[in-house]
Structure 1
Amino acid sequence: MAVSRPTILIPSFNTGPLLLETVEAALATGYPVRVVIDGSTDGSETLLEDLTATDNQLRVHILPQNQGKGAAVLFGLEKSLEDGFTHALAMDADGQHPADSVTAFLELSSRHPEAAIFGRPVFDDSAPALRVNGRKISNFWANLETLGWGIDDSLFGMRLYPIRKLIETLEETRFARRFDFDPEVAVRLAWKGVPIVNLPTPVRYIDPEDGGVSQFRYLRDNTLLTWMHFRLMIGFLIRSPWLGMRGENPLLHLSPPAR
């Protein structure tokens, strides 16, 4: 693989002032930043106008209609590939993912450019118990569907991807375009034999009183995840003989034990 050239990719939908805070923190790392505004209706994209005019490390793409996180990421990946980038570090725009962790992701990726680096969330007291415990169900199914390839957390969105591999993965399915993006691409990358390394990463949940926003809708998104895992289990049963011959994730030993 050629020398890695990474960018930070931030999809955003109605994240308000937190968008500017997140982008400024990402730019402070010194790496190029690409933002995809996914049909936001809150005017938050205007907060980036001054930065876009003065910082040549920042590019902002605006989608006219909301298409979902996965679709926004795919759009950003394609634009990043056109600009010559090889890897993309995805960060949520709502302030949950710490820019302080960017360097650790990129250093690990520089040593293993063939791998996807998945954040494994380290929760503090701000994390809702329902969200912390509920994700264990998705993690169980994701590891069953990949024969234990080594996905510590299937839902956490701070991840560094080899761009071409992720585009190829998304082009093979019409799904993984909304809230199902993070868990579905984790499983599908494992099916393709892409090594996965898990990196412990702090996460914070910001109270609504402090400007925190969440696009998660309990019934809608859990229904989507249930349907997704049903589909993936069918795919797993079809692929299981091949997956059994694939062997172990070659970088599994770099991943700390799942908690």
Structure 2
Amino acid sequence: MPMPSPSTSHLVLIPSYNPGPTVVDTVRAARAQWTPVWVVVDGSTDGSAERLQALAADDPGLRVIVLPENRGKGAAVLEGITLAAAEGYTHALTMDSDGQHPAGLIPDFMAASQAEPAAMVLGRPVFDADAPALRVNGRKVSNGWANLETLWMGIGDSLYGFRVYPVQPLIRVMRANRWMRRFDFDPEAVVRLCWAGVVPRNLDAPVRYFRADEGGVSHFRYLRDNVLLTWMHSRLFLGFLWRLPALAWRRLNTR
């Protein structure tokens, strides 16, 4: 199958930390849909860096960036988009490396971004019957907070990491604060980008949770990560209160 023609503005960026055996299939699926694809290996210790580097050796459309130690998803994304901006890329579609996100929808999301480059294109997850109820229902809390903190600007889902970001606005909001480096990256990024005036657009996208016997690997820790999200929304809410007059004025003038 011929690979897609290279884009000079949009790339696929895959942060990856100990993703399990599905990572090669995930990257191949992304490459079948888009060129270029970059993978940022975030200090993985499972041998996936070597497998991906071997794959990239025969594929000029695939680039593998290996970080020496685990820094967190947000830090891996920042590393990737900083390098991308230096090479002239304006947009990055982020997706997980474990096969949960739908590579087949990459062209649709990229087309939506190309049609409205000032916006961020957010995946709105469509869950299958095997999705853990705790994860599905728990994200409603984070989504409720994110929508309040942005005065309902239109964030369909704050946690789903399959999305297209304008690179420069994301770099600015990440460099302006010390947070957004670990599991809190996805929801904080969309809230702060909304505050910065980046309009969200939502597209439905299926999400699949793999069982352990299917090669699924989950780094989600219920207590640790919910404490992290609670702290994140606490500080975002304080930022929201400070910005409330400006946000309300903007909302009144965009209706």
TM bucket, shorter chain: over 0.9
- Pick one of 58, 74, 78 that aligns with 1:74: 78
- Pick one of 212, 223, 241 that aligns with 1:237: 241
Residue 226 of structure 1 deviates from its aligned partner by 0.3
Task: Name the structure 2 match of 1:142.
Answer: 146
Task: Name the structure 1 match of 2:102.
Answer: 98
1:126 alignment partner, SS class? coil
Task: Name the structure 2 match of 1:225.
Answer: 229
* Letter paired with 1:123: F
Change (3 A) 1:44 1:248: farther
Question: For each residue in 1:147-185, what CA deviation from the matched residue of structure 2 results, as whole angstroms up to 9, or x when unmatched?
Answer: 001111010000100000110111111001000000001
* Letter paired with 2:241: L
Q: 2-side partners of 1:248 and 1:12: how far apart?
A: 41
* Letter paired with 1:142: A
Q: How does 1:108-119 map to 2 (within 5 A)?
A: 108-119=112-123
* 1:160 aligned onto 2:164: yes
Q: 1-side partners of 2:132 and 2:251: how far apart?
A: 37
CA contact (8 A) 1:4 1:110 kept: no
Task: Name the structure 1 match of 2:24.
Answer: 20
Q: TM-score, normalised by structure 2?
A: 0.95
Q: 2-side partners of 1:103 and 1:153: how far apart?
A: 20
* 1:132 aligned onto 2:136: yes
Question: For each residue in 1:97-127, what CA deviation from the matched residue of structure 2 results, as whole angstroms up to 9, or x when unmatched?
Answer: 0111101101111110100000000001121
Residue 146 of structure 1 deviates from its aligned partner by 0.5
Task: Name the structure 2 match of 1:257.
Answer: none
Q: 2-side partners of 1:248 and 1:167: how far apart?
A: 28
- Pick one of 179, 190, 194 that aligns with 2:194: 190
1:247 alignment partner, SS class? helix
Change (3 A) 1:137 1:233: same
Residue 4 of structure 1 deviates from its aligned partner by 7.0
* Range with greater deviation from structure 2 (15-24 or 114-123): 15-24
Q: 2-side partners of 1:143 and 1:83: how far apart?
A: 34
* 1:35 aligned onto 2:65: no
Number of residue pairs matched by the alignment: 249
2:164 alignment partner, SS class? strand
Q: 2-side partners of 1:55 and 1:249: how far apart?
A: 49
Q: 2-side partners of 1:30 and 1:10: how far apart?
A: 12
* 1:84 aligned onto 2:94: no
Identical-pair percentage: 57
1:20 alignment partner, SS class? helix
Aligned-residue Cα RMSD (Å) equals: 1.5
CA contact (8 A) 1:196 1:249 kept: no
CA contact (8 A) 1:17 1:47 kept: no
- Structure 1, unmatched stretches of 5+, are 253-259
Structure 1 runs, 4 residues or longer, greater than 6 Å off: none
CA contact (8 A) 1:68 1:177 kept: yes
* Letter paired with 1:46: E
2:193 alignment partner, SS class? helix
2:33 alignment partner, SS class? coil
* Letter paired with 2:198: V
Residue 50 of structure 1 deviates from its aligned partner by 2.6
Q: TM-score, normalised by structure 1?
A: 0.93
